[in-house]
Amino acid sequence: MSNFLPNALIERLNKEPEFNMQAFLQVHEQEQKISSVRINPAKLKNPQALFPQAESIPWCDRGYFLKKRPVYTLDPLYHAGAYYSQEASSMFLAYAIQQLQLDKKALIALDMCAAPGGKSTLLQSYLSDDSLLVSNEIIKSRANILAENMMKWGGANVVVTNNDPVSFGRLPGFFDLMVVDAPCSGSGMFRKDHDAIDEWSEANVKLCAERQKRILADSIEALKTDGYLFYSTCSYSREENEEIVDWLSEEFDMKGIDLDVRAEWKITRSQTPKSNAQTFRFYPHEIKGEGFFFAILQKKADQSSFNRKRIKTEKNAAPKDELQKWINDEGLYAFLHQDQLHAFPKAYALELEALQRVLYLKNAGTAVGKWTGRELIPSHDLALSMHVRKDIPAIDVDLESALQYLRKDNLDAAVNNSGKTGWLLVRYEGINLGWVKALPNRINNYYPKELRIANL
């Protein structure tokens, strides 16, 4: 069998205990692409109907391996945020949250390197409904994609930010949970993407390890005492994995946390050389997924806390009664940002004020719509929200009309067979796709121009 993987990587992996190099090389020869999805429980109540032959992912009770990769672009439910296409190994976060019972209490969580949104949508689904999630991405173009995917997911308890990690150091002890899926050298993706092999080098591994340390050192102050850090990469290199965990333990007084993982899952346990912290490696010749490294650390250092008492809330000019016309507003309040009306959890009003003072925010909560001073023009965000009122008039469409709508083509007035007028939701399989405005003899399509799908 020819060895087309970098020799330096092979030498490193051969030093791993009980590592099966022959099986590892064989699985990389195949360049197999495994399709997996995770459903949005707030929108998709019967995943077996949509994915009838899907196989459950052992460590994620809402994740599924698909027999065949679908054309996501041609599935209206994908555009509606009913499910997310995510690599199976990355879904291990769900198991960690449940094992640590972080889903049982209200938390403030930060996903530091969040784009395109896989781990953030997972966090939003698995953390309790009364938690707050801050999803951050440093690169502006990727932050736009992140904001789009979080909008599709539909939660109001999410703030999307576009900041360098150093900015979060100005929020000491603010977060109960930090997730850092760190930029890495990417060797865990070689089976899926052979083109990435040519970009790997020992120099890049070193560069990535330095970048990972900077991200963590700049932001770790934002994690409170006894708070949890979920650290992960898609690399096999110890410099980016176990050695980072040991560095965190030494420099920031953090303790590795173990999980009870079933042997039949074939997730490989790995121990760090200095602190003996338990970590987890996912190898594609052992599990049905890509290469992945995961570790949990708990902060033991005494950490000062951000002083919320210094924050003075600003006068709220939002129209008081408008929100409840459009949204199930229990536990939510309305605020205006420029001319946009937003809905956000009342319990975190003070935290939002703090975030606004320290960070650049792309979005906060649900953007309900544009307030003209007399009326509201509903937003696409509202259409996809989990909180949009169930009694708002809607029209149900078939697949052909749904795709026509998603292309931003004109809809046949006949689809509005009940003759409703005004703002209407367009629904496919009972799930909202967006807005139209119905007139007596035509329907105006308000699907966002920037989201429309190409004609295929």
Q: Which residue positions form the known binding site?
A: 113-119, 137, 164, 181
Clarify whether 184 is annotated catalytic: no
The position carrying tokens 């935290």 is 351
Q: Are 231 and 215 in contact, with CB atoms under 8 Å apart?
A: no
* Long-range contact set of residues 123-126: C-beta below 8 Å, sequence gap at least 24: 123/93, 123/97, 123/179, 124/150, 124/153, 124/155, 124/157, 124/158, 125/38, 125/40, 125/41, 125/42, 125/62, 125/153, 126/93, 126/94, 126/97, 126/98
From the list 60, 184, 208, 234, the catalytic residue is: 234
Burial 234-264 (b: 16+ CB within 10 A, else e): bbbbbbbbbbbbbbbbeebebebbebebeee
Annotated binding site for S-adenosyl-L-methionine: 113-119, 137, 164, 181
Q: Are 301 and 252 in contact, with CB atoms under 8 Å apart?
A: yes
- Helix axis angle for 92-99 and 118-126, nearest 10°, is 30
Q: Residue 338: how many CB atoms within 10 A of its CB?
A: 6
For residue 193, the Cα-to-chain-centroid distance in whole angstroms is 22
Dig out the tokens for 59 from the structure. 């460590």
DSSP H/E element including 212: helix 202-219
CA distances (Å), origin 389, targets 3, 154, 261: 58, 13, 41
Query: What are the start-end ranges of the E strands in 234-375?
Result: 254-257, 268-271, 278-282, 292-299, 332-337, 340-345, 361-364, 366-371
| Burial label, 277 (beta-carbon count in 10 A; 0-12, 13-18, 19+) | buried
Residues annotated catalytic, as ranges: 234
